[in-house]
Amino acid sequence: MLRRLVFRFVKPYVGALLGVFLLQTVAAIASLTLPTLNAAIIDDGVAKGDTAFIWTRGALMLAVSVIQVLGQVGAAFCGAQLAMGFGRDVRAGLFDHVLQFSTQEVNKFGAPSLITRNTNDVQQVQQLLLMGCVFIVSAPLTAGGGVVMALRENVGLSWLILAAVGTLGVVIGVLIGFMTPLFRANQERIDNINRVLREQLTGIRVIRAFIREPSERKRFQTANNDLMTLGFKIGTLFSLLFPVVNLVLNLSTVGVMWFGAERADIGDIQVGQLQAFIQYLIQILMSVMMATMMLLMLPRAQVCARRIMEVFDTPSSVTQPDNPVTEMASKGRIEFRDVEYRYPGAENPVLHDVSFTLTPGTITAVVGATGSGKTTLINLIPRLADATAGTVLVDGVDVRRLDQDLLWAHVALVPQRPYLFSGTVASNLEYGKPDASEDEMWAALRTAAAETFVTERGGLESSITQGGTDVSGGQRQRLSIARALLKKPDVYLFDDAFSALDVATDAQVRAALAAEIKDAAVLIVAQRITSIKEADQILVLDEGRIVGRGTHSELLNTCPTYAEIVASQISAEEM
């Protein structure tokens, strides 16, 4: 998964990657040259008292050091460009892909998990890529070159290199084996704490209303402690790395000095060569440690890459057709033919054999008990989900054959839970019509009975917080209605869009809407009978089936389910 993800998004940065390889190679060669030059200074300069040789080789060491520094700095710069660009492109790709998801896919992953995958998970892979660019060439080249150069100095001490590297490799392998499942669990617990925090922030009013603060604090504390405990385990294992590396490094240095001293005493190795051997050993072990850093990051990055690719590999159940229809013969006619919808894994469908027609200039209403499939039915028109059987036709064309932009351009939806974006009243209304004038906005607000409260808030430029939490539920609904009116579509879909309005405001909005939407096809889902009793056609849903069809007066006499709904609301109003 990690390889697929990297290969998929690293192609635009091949130039930077080649720059990393070239500059790291130069820096590694320079690094490997320094111990040999230092050995020559000790053996041929200091030992013989040749000052000119010391100055000459010292100047050469300085020049090589400058080349090494410039190579490392340049490689780090190219690596940073590659890693940052990679992270940006992955986040953008995830965002674009998720925008194509239907409600089904979004619910499958959950909003908290999608947020974590597009932020923390991408960051983990990005960090691995950055570390890889810094060490991907220098670590193996320095380690391999260090072994060759150390053997050139003295073959008899080579077993110390094998012992040191072998010991370090075994310890690192054991640590990685323990840490891989912990990293996977860590990402899941980050998802969990995001979910809990998001629920608490979104439902703060409910929490306070039912005095649930203590239990919610306990729930967050549990999720927080779970993440802390797991992080402590990971940190404990990770903290063992540096002491182990330092221990192996120091023991190896002592071993070289111990066994090298005997060889120096008998003239088998010179002092400068012994010093160079120690430096090469240090370079080898430091390279192994750098590679270890990458290997320790690798398990977590692999887990994160797998989670990211799960999103990319999940196709939307609502897709753009290969050869879409881009023109409509007429406008505003919607037809359901024997439509069925079944959620994935569900035993029974939510909608059964639903057939009806919406025509321009008419209002069709849908009523029914909670869970009867009203919202599912309305979501099939703008393709927030696709029917699992039967056909939904728009102007005689199956919605699955229509160009999605064309379909959405002719349909305006006011959802059951109206959502406002952070910004201003104007910026939210512009979602309906980006180039709407102020006069058009005020006209739409007037029709939606929102002009007064918007004026009191400071006008079109008054601020709106994320989700519209700084306005009431009824005000959110009226702003959402105004946003839909600005679009001036051929089909209006109101999904329980008047539920938060009082009876008087509801009547005022409906009266104003009648003139504005008289030429469009209108589908209204409502719980309140007073909101839909004037509809040209009322559909009564019961467990996903249409059990009644007709006008208000007709259904009172022919549909017991509708009569029960009306009777229950009349009794409540009288009481």
Q: Please tell me the total count of domains within the chain.
A: 2
Which CATH number does the domain housing residue 489 bear?
3.40.50.300
pLDDT on residue 170 = 80
Domain presence at residue 328: no
305 and 361 in a single domain? The answer is: no
242 and 348 in a single domain? The answer is: no
Domain presence at residue 95: yes
181 and 108 in a single domain? The answer is: yes
163 and 260 in a single domain? The answer is: yes
382 and 469 in a single domain? The answer is: yes
Domain presence at residue 329: no
pLDDT on residue 156 = 67
Domain presence at residue 363: yes
pLDDT on residue 442 = 93
Domain presence at residue 318: no
Q: What are the φ and ψ backbone dihedral angles of 371, each rounded to 5 degrees?
A: 85, 10
Question: Which of 312, 342, 370 delimits the end of a domain?
Answer: 312
pLDDT on residue 571 = 55
348 and 442 in a single domain? The answer is: yes
303 and 351 in a single domain? The answer is: no
pLDDT on residue 575 = 30
Domain presence at residue 131: yes
Hey, what are 468's tokens? 């519209």
Can you give the residue range of the structural domain that contains 294? 2-312
pLDDT on residue 573 = 47
Question: Which of 282, 312, 342 delimits the end of a domain?
Answer: 312
Question: Which of 257, 281, 312 delimits the end of a domain?
Answer: 312
Output 57-65 pairs: Cβ under 8 A, ≥24 positions apart.
61/34, 61/37, 64/30, 64/33, 64/34, 64/37, 65/30, 65/34
183 and 146 in a single domain? The answer is: yes
Q: pTM of the prediction? A: 0.69
277 and 357 in a single domain? The answer is: no
Instruction: Walk along the chain (575 residues) in steps of 10 and give the mean pLDDT of each run.
Output: 84 87 86 78 73 83 89 88 91 90 81 84 88 75 75 70 77 76 80 82 79 87 89 82 77 76 68 73 76 73 87 84 78 88 82 90 88 87 88 89 86 86 90 90 91 89 85 88 89 86 84 86 86 87 89 88 84 44
Domain presence at residue 323: no
Per DSSP, the three-state class of 469 is coil
Output 346-354 pairs: Cβ under 8 A, ≥24 positions apart.
349/388, 349/389, 349/544, 350/376, 350/544, 351/376, 351/377, 351/387, 351/544, 352/543, 352/544, 352/545, 353/390, 353/545, 354/390, 354/544, 354/545, 354/546
Which CATH number does the domain housing residue 298 bear?
1.20.1560.10
Domain presence at residue 555: yes
280 and 358 in a single domain? The answer is: no
307 and 338 in a single domain? The answer is: no
410 and 501 in a single domain? The answer is: yes
